[in-house]
């Protein structure tokens, strides 16, 4: 299709997206496209040919797209060396910090590499559907024209091509690209760089690029992580206007006039519990026994007092949406002067808090709750590992002395947490327990160890207390019918449940007959029955992947995984904008703003905050996973040639994935498996080997590490026939964990 026909299609498509019944006369089209009179004959011929081919129609002199569904505008969301994906777009109001003026409708299309016509991620394109989606493939389309060229940065590695330095892109294509002359003298072979497209060609390999940033060796995980952050919009620095506001808030203690207005809890034995290296402390707890059960206080940093709506700080926090944690780094939602300073509930200093004060029965029933603006003074910065030693009786005198002012409260906390946990299990909440990863780096930021995180009793205590506080916040909003940002988790579709049943049957573990009508309680039973089997970890993950992704919503849709009709995120406003949002709403509620005014003030805000929190969370989860892959590959570079015991964690036509006890995962390519024509059955069995060998998810195997690419973030294994006792040197577990408002909920966001 020539350029003239593409221009015609483009104009008629854009018009039909605004109004499906609209069209243009030939004269209007000529004017819109900007043609001269000399081109009118060619234009009329193009219209005639397009009508004959069925692309457009003419009725009473008005030209329209024949099938308004066939051509559409889309954004390129992903490109690799052989293909890409585009996502259909709708014209929408442009966000000042967004990459385009379009809003996603959600439909994605597969595009073959040759049909992308050089488009890169972020480009807005005119596309045409060529095939519909089927059970085993995505809907397909071709790109007709690039409507808006993105200036998005891409990453690659400097390579030598003859006597020239070029850039081999990480994902765009598998051919090196020419570099514009400016700045080329500073480059070295093997460096990780970020580049933009300076001059476009018809295909990806025809582009000329301009180097924008040099990060260092592509063999360093730190360089790859920094490059990923830059090109994906994770800003490590804050804008100047934000820093100007922060200077006014860089204080040691809150304003005395403000503390006078608040409920004074500085005399209460309140304290915090977190990982040993935590600096941004969101939450503190207090507890006491009563005749009816327990008084439980969950005291959360009052970030909303300092981050005012509409301020530069607030706009930046909204844009970021969440803090991002990887290896020994954090990209914070708020500047450290707040997150580690005046907002952090550090010990032995006055801090402003937003407290959820609850009364809980001896049976764990939430009898009452209220929210108060408070001033607190944490007695001690508790550390999970130290509290666990107090609980198991191994604490030394130094630890006992540190916790002297609160030590008698710790057994009461365990007592209540065990009751709350038992109630959650009895409700049928699936106990999904997939270990997270702890990356250990040296003073130079190089990965020297990888461990699987484990929760100890102290972590589980805080988890249960955060859950009940979050439940209280959502319950209040639902009762009062005020705008809110809920944490929601919808039930799996019937199709997913049927697929889960088939997968479990293939594994020989469908103990409860999982099917389309199965409940969360049924899934919990499957996990419980598999706990003592060698497939426990795998079944955990399969069940997790069956579930929908947890997200944020202005509607109280309930939380399937927690088996709660009401749930929200109230407990981490330093690192999540969703929590900060509901703090702001609850503040006005506590200060007696009427429901009518709350609705007027926050109805639109709650929708926008929920949407942005969901989008940024997904981006953050992907970022953390990608950066972890860089560090894992860096670690395994020093273990090439070594053998490890692991298990098959996944199968694909291209090979099998093997995970080691320390959570590192690598792939055994199909080329390194026995000769055969391989096929995947029920997503868990790879069959087709000529010798009859089958590879099943959960099966224990022994592998040798044969290569590791830090730049790509992947590891290659090969199978070793003999078994032995040698395992990865850093596979031992750790009892420290990042503080969260529930491990299950945290895992659901990764699903």
**β-strand partners of 357:** 297, 370
Tens digit of each residue's pLDDT (9 = 90 or more) over 319-329? 999 999 999 89
The pLDDT, as a whole number, for residue 183 is 60
Q: Are 718 and 706 in contact (CB under 8 A)?
A: yes
Of the pLDDT bands very low, low, confident and very high (cuts 50, 70, 90), residue 724 is very low
Tell me the three state secondary structure of residue 434: coil
In this prediction, residues 508-514 reach a mean pLDDT of: 80
| Helix 595-636 with 743-750: angle, nearest 10 deg | 70
Whether 7 has a pLDDT exceeding 90, the answer reads no
The pLDDT, as a whole number, for residue 80 is 87
Report how far residue 225's alpha carbon sits from residue 504's, in angstroms, rounded to the nearest whole number. 37
Tens digit of each residue's pLDDT (9 = 90 or more) over 334-360? 999 999 999 999 999 999 999 999 999
Whether 209 has a pLDDT exceeding 80, the answer reads yes
Tens digit of each residue's pLDDT (9 = 90 or more) over 98-113? 443 334 456 889 999 8
Of the pLDDT bands very low, low, confident and very high (cuts 50, 70, 90), residue 133 is low
Of the pLDDT bands very low, low, confident and very high (cuts 50, 70, 90), residue 729 is very low
Whether 214 has a pLDDT exceeding 50, the answer reads yes
Of the pLDDT bands very low, low, confident and very high (cuts 50, 70, 90), residue 94 is very low
Q: Are 88 and 72 in contact (CB under 8 A)?
A: yes
Structure tokens at 291: 């005749």
Question: How many separate helices (H) and strands (E) can be counted in the chain?
Answer: 19, 33
Tens digit of each residue's pLDDT (9 = 90 or more) over 217-269? 999 999 999 999 999 999 999 999 999 999 999 899 999 999 999 999 999 99
The sign of the torsion formed by the CA atoms of 170, 172, 175, 178 equals negative
The pLDDT, as a whole number, for residue 135 is 56
Per the model's pLDDT, the better-predicted residue between 527 and 98 turns out to be 527
Q: What is the dihedral of CA 490, 496, 500, 501, to 10 degrees?
A: 110
> Where do the domains of the chain lie, and which CATH numbers do they carry?
3-65 (1.10.10.10), 71-148 (2.40.50), 154-218 (2.40.50.640), 240-488+554-625+738-749 (no CATH), 494-547 (no CATH), 643-719 (2.40.50.140)
The pLDDT, as a whole number, for residue 748 is 38
Q: Are 646 and 659 in contact (CB under 8 A)?
A: yes
The pLDDT, as a whole number, for residue 102 is 38
Q: Are 15 and 22 in contact (CB under 8 A)?
A: yes
The pLDDT, as a whole number, for residue 747 is 37
In this prediction, residues 368-380 reach a mean pLDDT of: 97
The pLDDT, as a whole number, for residue 22 is 79
Report how far residue 212's alpha carbon sits from residue 495's, in angstroms, rounded to the nearest whole number. 46
Tell me the three state secondary structure of residue 31: helix
The pLDDT, as a whole number, for residue 130 is 85
Tens digit of each residue's pLDDT (9 = 90 or more) over 554-609? 999 999 999 999 999 999 999 999 999 999 999 999 999 999 999 999 999 999 99
pTM of the model: 0.87
Q: What percent of the chain has pLDDT over 90?
A: 64
In this prediction, residues 104-130 reach a mean pLDDT of: 85
| Helix 221-231 with 595-636: angle, nearest 10 deg | 150
688 alpha carbon, distance to own chain's centre: 35
Burial class of residue 141, CB neighbours in 10 A (0-12, 13-18, 19+): buried
Tens digit of each residue's pLDDT (9 = 90 or more) over 684-718? 999 999 999 999 999 999 999 999 999 999 999 99
The CB density around residue 309, as the number of other CB atoms within 10 Å, is 14
The pLDDT, as a whole number, for residue 134 is 63
Tens digit of each residue's pLDDT (9 = 90 or more) over 50-80? 887 777 888 888 888 776 667 788 899 889 8
Q: What is the mean pLDDT of the chain?
A: 88
DSSP characters over 253-305? S--HHHHHTSEE-TTS--BEEE-TT--S--EEEEEEE-SSEEEEEEEEE-HHH
Per the model's pLDDT, the better-predicted residue between 677 and 722 turns out to be 677
Q: What percent of the chain has pLDDT over 70?
A: 92
Whether 628 has a pLDDT exceeding 90, the answer reads yes
Report how far residue 23's alpha carbon sits from residue 60's, in angstroms, rounded to the nearest whole number. 11
Rg of the chain over CA atoms, in angstroms?
29
Q: Which helix (H) or strand (E) holds 681?
A: strand 676-681
């Amino acid at each position: 299709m020539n350029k003239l026909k593409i221009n015609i299609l483009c104009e008629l498509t854009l018009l039909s997206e605004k109004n499906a019944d609209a069209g243009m006369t030939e004269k209007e089209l000529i004017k819109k496209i900007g043609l001269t009179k000399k081109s009118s004959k060619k234009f009329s011929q193009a219209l005639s040919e397009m009508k004959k081919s069925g692309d457009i129609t003419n009725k009473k002199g008005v030209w329209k797209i024949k099938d308004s569904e066939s051509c559409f505008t889309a954004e390129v969301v992903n490109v690799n060396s052989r293909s890409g994906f585009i996502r259909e777009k709708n014209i929408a109001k442009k966000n000042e910090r967004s990459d385009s003026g379009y809003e996603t409708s959600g439909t994605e299309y597969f595009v073959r590499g040759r049909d992308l016509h050089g488009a890169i991620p972020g480009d807005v394109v005119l596309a045409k559907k060529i095939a519909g989606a089927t059970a085993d493939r995505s809907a397909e389309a071709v790109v007709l024209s690039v409507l808006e060229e993105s200036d998005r940065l891409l990453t690659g590695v400097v390579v030598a091509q003859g006597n020239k330095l070029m850039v081999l892109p990480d994902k765009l294509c598998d051919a090196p690209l020419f570099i514009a002359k400016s700045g080329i003298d500073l480059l070295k072979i093997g460096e990780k760089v970020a580049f933009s497209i300076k001059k476009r060609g018809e295909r990806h390999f025809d582009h000329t690029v301009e180097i924008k940033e040099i990060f260092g060796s592509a063999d360093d995980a730190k360089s790859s992580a920094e490059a990923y952050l830059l090109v994906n919009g994770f800003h490590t620095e804050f804008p100047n206007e934000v820093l100007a506001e922060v200077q006014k808030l860089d204080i040691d203690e809150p304003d005395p006039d403000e503390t006078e207005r608040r409920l004074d809890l500085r005399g209460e034995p309140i304290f915090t519990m977190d990982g040993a290296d935590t600096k941004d402390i969101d939450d503190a707890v207090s507890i006491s026994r009563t005749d009816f059960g327990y008084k439980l206080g969950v005291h959360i940093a009052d970030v909303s007092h300092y981050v005012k709506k509409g301020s530069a700080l607030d706009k930046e926090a909204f844009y970021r949406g969440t803090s991002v944690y990887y290896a020994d780094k954090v990209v914070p939602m708020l500047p450290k002067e707040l997150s580690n300073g005046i907002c952090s509930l550090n010990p032995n200093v006055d801090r402003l808090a937003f407290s959820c004060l609850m009364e809980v029965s001896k049976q764990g029933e939430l009898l009452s709750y209220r929210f108060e603006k408070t001033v607190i003074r944490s007695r001690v910065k508790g550390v999970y590992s130290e509290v666990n030693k107090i609980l198991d009786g191994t604490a030394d005198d130094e630890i006992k002395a540190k916790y002297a002012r609160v030590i008698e409260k710790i057994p009461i906390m365990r007592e209540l947490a065990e009751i709350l946990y038992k109630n959650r299990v009895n409700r049928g909440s699936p106990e999904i327990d997939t270990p997270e990863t702890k990356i250990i780096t040296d003073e130079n930021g190089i990965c020297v160890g990888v461990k699987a995180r484990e929760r100890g009793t102290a972590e589980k205590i805080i988890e249960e207390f955060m859950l009940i506080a979050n439940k209280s916040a959502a319950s209040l909003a639902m009762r009062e019918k005020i705008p809110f940002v809920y944490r929601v988790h919808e039930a799996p579709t019937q199709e997913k449940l049927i697929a889960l049943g088939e997968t479990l049957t293939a594994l020989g573990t469908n103990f409860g007959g999982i099917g389309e009508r199965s409940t969360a309680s049924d899934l919990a039973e499957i996990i419980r029955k598999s706990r003592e089997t060698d497939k426990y970890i795998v079944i955990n993950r399969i069940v997790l992947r069956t579930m929908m992704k947890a997200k944020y919503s202005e509607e109280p849709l309930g939380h399937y995984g927690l088996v709660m009709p009401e749930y929200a995120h109230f407990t981490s406003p330093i690192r999540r904008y969703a929590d900060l949002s509901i703090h702001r709403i609850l503040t006005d509620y506590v200060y007696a703003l009427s429901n009518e005014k709350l609705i007027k003030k926050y109805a639109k805000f709650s929708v926008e905050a929920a949407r942005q929190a969901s989008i940024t969370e997904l981006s953050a989860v992907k970022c953390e996973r990608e950066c972890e892959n860089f560090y894992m590959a860096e670690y395994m570079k020093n273990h090439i040639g070594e053998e490890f015991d692991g298990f098959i964690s996944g199968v694909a036509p291209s090979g099998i994935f093997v995970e080691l006890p320390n959570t590192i995962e690598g792939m055994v390519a199909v080329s390194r498996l026995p000769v055969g024509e391989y096929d995947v059955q029920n997503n868990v069995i790879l069959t087709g080997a000529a010798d009859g060998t089958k590879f099943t998810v959960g099966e224990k195997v022994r592998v040798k590490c044969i290569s590791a690419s830090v730049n790509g973030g992947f590891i290659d294994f090969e199978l070793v026939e003999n078994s032995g006792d040698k395992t990865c040197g850093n596979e031992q577990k750790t009892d420290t964990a990042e503080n969260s408002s529930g491990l299950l909920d945290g895992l659901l966001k990764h699903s």
